[in-house]
Homo-oligomer: A and B are copies of this chain.
């Protein structure tokens, strides 16, 4: 299981290959929220999301012989791009399995990062069977998106940075808000902060209608989302918390915060105008919670913006709906 030693070991492997994203702030955001808000912009990470950390952590931990055969992942989103680039930077092949109806831009980007994209027909083929066949034929190692200790350890390196940067900014106590899908990112951050900044309270943030983690934490058992798609916050939509991540979240995280899609879009627009960063709606739910759901938050908030791979049309929509 992931612990602080694994996270520190991941950090040593990531060093020089991932970016130490800065901590940003704006007096305009502080004023809206009525408290100090700091933003950790993982949209500035390689491939535009934190996923690169976990991918690098998992791939770099493989033995050279196993690694040389290549890796495989199932994803049409940020995990795909993270795995593709991390594999290329290791000089190994990667295969990304995506549904054939995935957006062209995502397929194109993943290929451009050096991956072989294998498309399957959602209606006729079984994704796992396609993947299993490829893995067996070529000896590829599966890189899971979140329910995997090495991936969680990689995501946790962002938590180590938060602890250090909060100290530099003299932030004594804070709520740390994290956009949450399967829970790999928040689990890594929570484990890192348990060891390095235990006075911080880590809390998951989700969009309305897809608040499986908030509900699971409230009920004490894994709850599922009714819908599996249909949110602008697609980057953080998963059916349910992971089997590995849920116990970590249960032990370490405070209650979940839930925002509307419009609040997420409003946060996207404010990140544009006030922080000069590009955030996707799913990546902006923690900032939205910090800005618009402060009832249960303390004096200082660190909101993680987890990704920036947004369709230009959605970005325009955010600017149109929420002019400065």
Binding site for B on A (CB under 8 A): 16, 19-22, 24, 27-28, 31, 41, 43-44, 48, 85, 105, 112-113, 168, 272-273, 275-279, 308, 312, 315-316, 319, 323-324
Q: How far is the CB of A179 from chain B (nearest CB, A)?
A: 15
Known: A22-B19, A312-B324, A319-B315. A113 touches B27 (CB 8 A): yes
- Give A273 to B113 CA distance when docked, in angstroms: 14
Residue in B19, B24, B323 whose CB lies within 8 Å of A44? B24
Residue in B20, B112, B278, B323 whose CB lies within 8 Å of A276? B278
Chain B residues near A85 (CB, 8 Å)? 27
Cβ-defined contact, A48 with B112, below 8 A: no
Chain B residue nearest in CB terms to A272 = B278
Cβ-defined contact, B324 with A105, below 8 A: yes
Known: A277-B277, A312-B319. 13 other contacts (CB 8 A): A19-B24, A24-B44, A27-B85, A31-B112, A43-B276, A44-B277, A105-B324, A272-B315, A273-B312, A276-B277, A312-B324, A315-B319, A316-B319
Chain B residues near A278 (CB, 8 Å)? 272, 276-278
Chain B residues near A43 (CB, 8 Å)? 276
Known: A44-B277, A278-B276. A112 touches B22 (CB 8 A): no
